[in-house]
Structure 1
């Protein structure tokens, strides 16, 4: 009965979530989400007949998924919902023998998964590769440059200013390259070259700002570098989680790949800074 009540709460919560998210989409997607929401309400009523109890939805989850849709897009929020649907399918199988009514709920959950996968078509997802390009290039290039400059100069403000100038210049350069690249393939894809360039540049500049900020705020360059590396790790963590959800990639493998690449270059550049300082004997 405890499981039934949990399922009941989930169903009525998802009913409200789907209805709220339906207000953020257009065209046929609205009808699909409202249809799924109505199914969730029916599931709730079925489970209520079994439990004999009225359950209130989780206001926190309704707010949480709505917030995720605003911050990361409707696709990200729905994909997370889909993951919960898969967990629910497995859980429903465990109690289906005792409650035959649950079988229909299981079939509906499987149908929801297919409908959600077919309906997801969000503009920003067409530019994920552009965002990956800007973010990953900024991480690899700037963490390496900042690490090398930290030991070479050992002056926070000079390292921060050098990183900022390098980062902004690289952002414009990368945006221009992405524009030309997308322009050459414009006829074959859904992406707009100008938007692709903007997504690349924006991802690059946001990453540069996060990585350079500690050097402009703190006086200790090595402490600033440590905070920068922590920031880089968090950026990699959040972005790989986002991509793993919307593109259904293996999170662990994708995170490890980006992490090792970024921090491997940073470590190598730090040693280059040590060698450069000893060879040229620069003191600032």
Structure 2
């Protein structure tokens, strides 16, 4: 019970802290309501434990920073997912406090409904981010793999990759602008959508090309690039799975398969080109 009391107190502190810097009045009201719910739960546990507890101090700044950098919905759902693991605590004390698990599930169900009401701007443009990120991963990983065998010069591969990547980023952003403007759903702004797509694309380009700028051996650089690509896919799909509540494993394997499949095909195309034209740079 003491653990549950402390956990609920910690969550209430986090929600109050986040509400302090939240500018959206609707979101602020929801956050304050959840904070009060958590505070009430903590007080309920206190009535049984008859103990004063302190919050987990490291969790308060950790989740506050997480929400600031990765968005409201992601941070809160990750926090709640961590809290849901605490249901095992209730299972261990059913004989002493049988209504505890029911109380926990009821409160969490209410909080989940409140969380769904939050307005989180980045999630409205998640489709644009997916477009930029996924296209950059597939296209540039393939280009770099092909160039690795076709040219075998790190500086030149990096130069070509930068030119190709930046050009493709502007092209993709322009296409997203026109596409969003044509659909005209009113939920997202065409210019903002294009900016999200372009930024996601360029950020991915920089991450994938970086190994070729610091490693002379092109094959080692390619391996590092592939590792970075897989890491980006993992992080992004973890973010989406938490924020949107979608399955992680299927999406992750799908994106990895596509990116690495294109890279493998491009690698062998580079090998063929190198043999036919006998390119040595």
Q: Same fold (TM over 0.5)?
A: yes
CA drift of 1:91 comes to: 4.4
Is the CA contact 2:26–2:118 (under 8 Å) kept in the aligned structure 1? Answer: no
Give me the whole-angstrom Cα distance separating, in 1, the residues matched to 2:15 and 2:271.
56
CA drift of 1:90 comes to: 5.8
Give me the whole-angstrom Cα distance separating, in 1, the residues matched to 2:105 and 2:200.
40
Give me the whole-angstrom Cα distance separating, in 2, the residues matched to 1:22 and 1:100.
33
Secondary structure at the aligned position of 2:188 is classed as coil
Aligned-pair RMSD on alpha carbons? 1.6
Q: What are the ranges of 5 or more consecutive residues in structure 1 without an aligned counterpart?
A: none
Q: Deviations over 1:192-248 (max 9, x none)?
A: 000000000000000000111111122111111111111111111111111111111
CA drift of 1:89 comes to: 4.6
Where do 4+ consecutive residues of structure 1 move more than 6 Å?
Answer: none
Mapped pair 1:36 → 2:34: yes
Q: How many residue pairs align between the two structures?
A: 279
Give me the whole-angstrom Cα distance separating, in 2, the residues matched to 1:104 and 1:215.
56
TM-score by length of 2: 0.94
Give me the whole-angstrom Cα distance separating, in 2, the residues matched to 1:95 and 1:32.
31
Give me the whole-angstrom Cα distance separating, in 2, the residues matched to 1:60 and 1:145.
44
Is the CA contact 2:30–2:118 (under 8 Å) kept in the aligned structure 1? Answer: no
Mapped pair 1:185 → 2:215: no
Partner of 1:61: 59
Alignment of 1:84-95 (within 5 A): 84-89=82-87, 91-92=89-90, 95=93
CA drift of 1:100 comes to: 5.1
Is the CA contact 1:75–1:120 (under 8 Å) kept in the aligned structure 2? Answer: yes
Partner of 1:216: 213
C-alpha change, 1:263 and 1:273, in structure 2 (3 Å) is same
Q: Of 234, 239, 242, which aligns to 1:242?
A: 239
Give me the whole-angstrom Cα distance separating, in 2, the residues matched to 1:235 and 1:90.
32
Partner of 2:223: 226
CA drift of 1:98 comes to: 2.4
C-alpha change, 1:39 and 1:218, in structure 2 (3 Å) is same
Alignment of 1:1-284 (within 5 A): 4-25=1-22, 26-89=24-87, 91-92=89-90, 95-99=93-97, 102=100, 103-117=102-116, 119-186=117-184, 188-284=185-281
Q: What are the ranges of 5 or more consecutive residues in structure 2 without an aligned counterpart?
A: none
TM-score by length of 1: 0.93
Give me the whole-angstrom Cα distance separating, in 1, the residues matched to 2:148 and 2:214.
15
CA drift of 1:106 comes to: 3.6
CA drift of 1:261 comes to: 0.7
